[in-house]
Amino acid sequence: MTAGTDVVVSAEHVSKWYGQVIGLNDVILKVPAGITGLLGPNGAGKSTLMKLITGQLKPSKGVLTVLGEPIWHNAPIFSRIGFCPEQDAFYERMTGLEWVTALVGLNGQGETASREMAARALETVGLSDVSGKRIAAYSKGMRQRVKLAQAIAHDPELLILDEPLSGMDPLVRRRIIRLIKEWGRAGKSILVSSHILHEIESMTPNIVLINQGRILAEGNVHQIRDLIDEHPHTVYVKADDTRELARRFLTDDHVLSLRFEEGAVVVQTGRPDIFYTRLTDLAASGELGTIHEVTSPDDNLQAVFQYLVKA
């Protein structure tokens, strides 16, 4: 990484248009060293951002730097970057070893060194035993792993992984998650995209939420949770006397809406901190009978994500 900085990707007011269609809209982003998850639903702009970060696309507006350097028209920087694209595209006739060797060769390595590096990378992703097979004969999971192998083979400082767990079975998925965490611990910076929150959550607490071409939030998972506390928060309260409970909350300014469900009341509040304090007080007083269950779908990170995406 560039000396004196711990930001591996920096986007300043970056926008990308495809004709009349906005792919990315005024993105301001600083991706720190370490593992960062890029989260967003399909079509959120993740791939556009990944393509901009890997220099495949040029920003329509704004400044984008990777490892402290502009990425567009900067071929040499790719010796420091490994990219695992989303698309299931290969030179199908080649074997896994031939393919990775050829790609490492483009990094300037000699034939022998390339072959050794490729073999090592294939071993890391658990494909040694099938490295001599044609890629056309690989399963979906193997194809994903061979893509990872070509990304890591030249030992880059920054790994950019676009939906790397897609199509993998649970065991391989676990293995790859472990590998990503190991690479992170080994000092690599990794930007990994996914539309599945628990995948990212299992790799890193540092996330960036993106939707409709905009960055919704970025930071630590806990910061994201704090952020959600600033927004309307839904709480499901299962209690003996839901009518009285609702009546007590109805007069509170922070309560935005109330609705009844079977044996429960669902409260939407703008100040969850005040709400939880008051609810705890009410439960402790015993005035309303027993409060059986207090759950908030917003406590689940998936819900936080969905909430922010809808906001």
Binding region for another protein (CB under 8 A) = 18, 47, 54-58, 69, 73-81, 83, 85, 87, 89-91, 93-94, 102-103, 105-108, 150
CB of 261 to another protein, least distance (A): 40
Strand order in 81-84's β-sheet?
81-84, 158-162, 189-194, 35-39, 206-211, 214-220
CB of 1 to another protein, least distance (A): 13
Q: How many CB atoms lie within 10 A of CB 13?
A: 13
Instruction: State the Cα–Cα distance between residues 220 and 204, nearest whole angstrom.
Output: 9
Judged by beta carbon, residue 69 or residue 240, the one nearer another protein is 69
Q: Is 3 exposed, middle or buried (0-12, 13-18, 19+ CB in 10 A)?
A: exposed
Judged by beta carbon, residue 154 or residue 233, the one nearer another protein is 154
Judged by beta carbon, residue 74 or residue 290, the one nearer another protein is 74
Judged by beta carbon, residue 2 or residue 306, the one nearer another protein is 2
Helix (H, G, I), strand (E, B) or coil at 72: coil
Name the residue type at position 51. K
Instruction: State the Cα–Cα distance between residues 221 and 209, nearest whole angstrom.
Output: 10
CB of 71 to another protein, least distance (A): 10
Instruction: State the Cα–Cα distance between residues 282 and 276, nearest whole angstrom.
Output: 10
Q: Give me the torsion for CA of 230, 231, 236, 240, rounded to 10°.
A: 60
Instruction: State the Cα–Cα distance between residues 117 and 154, nearest whole angstrom.
Output: 7
Extended strands (E) in the chain: 7-18, 21-32, 35-39, 61-66, 69-70, 81-84, 158-162, 189-194, 206-211, 214-220, 233-239, 255-261, 264-269, 291-295
Judged by beta carbon, residue 195 or residue 254, the one nearer another protein is 195
Judged by beta carbon, residue 81 or residue 179, the one nearer another protein is 81
CB of 70 to another protein, least distance (A): 9
Judged by beta carbon, residue 12 or residue 98, the one nearer another protein is 98
CB of 90 to another protein, least distance (A): 7
CB of 80 to another protein, least distance (A): 7
Closest CA to 156 of 112, 186, 193: 186
CB of 216 to another protein, least distance (A): 22
